[in-house]
Structure 1
Amino acid sequence: MEWYQLTNEGQIDSPAIVVYKNRIEENIGLLKTMIDDVQRLRPHVKTCKMAEVVRLMLDADIRRFKCATIAEAEMLGIAGAEDVLLAYQPVGPKIVRLLELVQKYPATTFSCLTDNLDAATAISNVFHGQHSLRVYLDLNVGMNRTGIKPGTHALALYKQLHELPGLLPVGLHAYDGHIHETDMTIRKEICDAAYAPAEQLCDDIVKVGLPEPAIIAGGSPTFPIHAARKNIQCSPGTFVFWDWGYSRILPEQPFHVAALVVTRVISVIDKERLCLDLGHKSIAAENPQPRVHFLNVPEAQPVSQSEEHLVVTVPDTAAYPIGAVFYGMPLHICPTVALYEKAYVAANNACYANWRIVARDRQIII
């Protein structure tokens, strides 16, 4: 049998997501070999969203984590993570929720991002007199999504953060998710150019007499580049499950695909077209087709998709009767995971448990 085939696939109601525990553990082990100090790792849990996967990383002596939502942060607190960065600037009710989170899980050190004085002041107003919250200055190093550009204004803002009660500025956050060139030479050149202003800002902060800030940089595509630097923390996330997209554009990273979608033939349209139960609600739909690659039917080509249906062409539909199971590798695994309430857990070609994808919810308790 192939590694992904399941002897008990008849017990799995499709569409479903299946995670392969042994391959997850292998990916965690591979990640640790790619950096000089495991304590420099700060994996992003937006990919897994499962406390059980977090515990596998904790078992591997990974102690620092990054997340994007209050629910993901709470999942980390529940799992017993020691250091959690909410890589998001909380605004409105999220600030109060973050305070409640900090108070509920005192064994976990929480922090968040900020990129302007108004937002930082609002956070300060909530935390002052309640708790001292660590904050990282969010830098725009080319992603053009959030953050302040490194330079004079960023230095001034970092100094102002030290004057706000309830806040403890501890570092800089530089996410370069816009960099994903396949050619590693080109990717490194672009990454180094994007990172240089952040490094200069760090030096400028020290020159004005403030403590040297910690730096958290990169995601999966630039992980090998930042891992070669000294001291900075690295935040890959997709490594834990990997996907079709990154397996094609990041050939230098040896991670194994550890999560698949399982779907079935529900209708035979004609001699060349089949319909599967893998609609928009079951596979991340933010990219153009093809959004999934079927390991056991690589010749299948998507031609149309709606909420509950995916129509594909194959050379001969006679080979795929009603109920035939397709094992699909998503183009983008992170938002695909968020579409499911639970994951089937497989080992030795059989599913033996379910793990709740608890952080797909916007709220757990807090």
Structure 2
Amino acid sequence: MDACYQIDDTSQIISPGMIIFKDLLEDNLRKMIELVGDPSRLRPHCKTHKMREVIQLELSLGILKHKAATFAEAEMLAEAGVKDICLAYNLVGPNIARAVEFRKRWPDVSLQVTADHPTPVEQLGEAMTAAGVEIEVLLDLNTGQNRTGLEPGVAAVELYQMIANTPGLIAAGLHVYDGQNHQVDFQERKEAVLAVWNDVSQLRDQLLTEGLKVSRIVAGATGSFPIFAGIDDPDIEVCPGTCVLHDVGYGELFPDLKFTPAALVLTRVISRPGPDRVTFDLGYKAIASDPAMQNRCRFPELPDAKAVLQNEEHLVVMTERANEFQPGDELLAIPRHVCPTSALHKSVTVVSGGKVVDHWNVAARDRFISV
């Protein structure tokens, strides 16, 4: 096992248990800043880790703007001392009242939310006006993923104008997520990202011509943030997420990003059901199950392991080295998709220099804390 994943004493770590290797985490944060050149250009997404302590490390490095997907994450950010939060989610139903409560509870926090339809915009404006507060709204753009947002064009201009004219709302800029840009080849990805930027910049110029203010362009994801960072435009705020902890999936998709997996799951052998099979306590309640079963994790010390069965509490792998393992033996697994993996764990064990130094709560794993 690589020395960076050394744990001197695992006897008190319950498995399956998520381990944060703090030295690697801090190194990933420094690399993230190096790629953009200035921490003021960053707005990292906290959905990957959902932990206050990671936010505090980022704040100590001068990363003051942050991004969230849920009100629980936004509340975690505010409680950690973040004063500039983008809740990159279109608000409907009870979330509109939650936005009012958030603005009243943290009046000194700049909160931006996203929108792509007139009805929620009208409802949000009415709720804010009735409460005597205001909220910043980013126009959510569809860059090709076809998940949310409006394509740059007439409808986008009209909705942005509506936001600007709605009492209680402040038209604060554009939200540009390009999660579809997963091209492994960097040049192909760069061309796709720049094509997105071309459409967005034309829309921004049109909005400015209409006399509308565009304060910021919250742009990109982990794979595209170095490309957006290379664009000379002061309004761009780049939004990496997964690279803070990194994982197998992003390591394969984006080989140009030299981050190191900093969140692994400690697992133990619980059975040897056959001569070529080993069963670990690593079910889909402990590691993300959205990748294909055979690709849900990687065992650095058992590279030939092939997952053949996974249930809630079990992961069965086939390996030619099965005879080397006995119940109680330990391995570390690198998740293929770390973001939903972190949400499966109430807390994590923190290791630095081979020593267990702390335990951190995954504070925003639920969708509701108090707001």
- Structure 2 partner of 1:56: 57
Q: Which runs of 4+ in 1 moved over 2 A?
A: none
1:296 Cα offset (Å): 1.8
1:300 touches 1:313 (CA, 8 Å); kept in 2?
yes
What are the ranges of 5 or more consecutive residues in structure 1 without an aligned counterpart?
none
User: What aligned pairs does 1:297-308 form with structure 2 within 5 A after superposition?
Assistant: 297-308=302-313
Q: SS of the counterpart of 1:336?
A: helix
1:247 Cα offset (Å): 1.0
Q: SS of the counterpart of 2:3?
A: coil
1:47 Cα offset (Å): 0.3
1:194 Cα offset (Å): 2.1
In the alignment, does 2:334 pair up with 1:329?
A: yes
- Structure 1 partner of 2:217: 215
2:269 touches 2:280 (CA, 8 Å); kept in 1?
yes
2:173 touches 2:213 (CA, 8 Å); kept in 1?
no
1:319 alignment partner, one of 321, 324, 347: 324
- Structure 1 partner of 2:169: 167
1:308-334: CA deviation from partner (whole Å, max 9, x where unpaired) = 110001213221111111100000000
- Structure 2 partner of 1:134: 136
User: What aligned pairs does 1:260-299 form with structure 2 within 5 A after superposition?
Assistant: 260-288=264-292, 289-299=294-304
2:45 touches 2:67 (CA, 8 Å); kept in 1?
yes
Matched AA of 2:252: R
1:17 touches 1:343 (CA, 8 Å); kept in 2?
yes
- In 1, the alpha carbon distance for the partners of 2:42 and 2:262 equals 20
- Structure 1 partner of 2:201: 199
1:119 Cα offset (Å): 0.9
1:188 alignment partner, one of 183, 190, 199: 190
- Structure 1 partner of 2:85: 84
Matched AA of 2:301: N
C-alpha root-mean-square deviation of aligned residues, in Å?
Answer: 1.1
User: What aligned pairs does 1:340-359 form with structure 2 within 5 A after superposition?
Assistant: 340-359=345-364
1:116 touches 1:157 (CA, 8 Å); kept in 2?
yes
Matched AA of 1:10: S
- Structure 2 partner of 1:245: 249
Report sequence identity in percent. 39
User: What aligned pairs does 1:15-54 form with structure 2 within 5 A after superposition?
Assistant: 15-54=16-55
1:237-256: CA deviation from partner (whole Å, max 9, x where unpaired) = 01110001111121111111
Matched AA of 1:42: R
- In 1, the alpha carbon distance for the partners of 2:322 and 2:187 equals 44
- In 1, the alpha carbon distance for the partners of 2:370 and 2:278 equals 42
- In 2, the alpha carbon distance for the partners of 1:83 and 1:357 equals 21
1:222-280: CA deviation from partner (whole Å, max 9, x where unpaired) = 11110101221100001110001111121111111110011110001121101111111
TM-score, normalisation: structure 1: 0.98
In the alignment, does 2:259 pair up with 1:258?
A: no
- In 1, the alpha carbon distance for the partners of 2:188 and 2:8 equals 44
1:202 touches 1:213 (CA, 8 Å); kept in 2?
no
1:271 touches 1:316 (CA, 8 Å); kept in 2?
no
- In 2, the alpha carbon distance for the partners of 1:316 and 1:137 equals 54
1:239 touches 1:255 (CA, 8 Å); kept in 2?
yes
Moved more, 70-79 or 239-248: 239-248
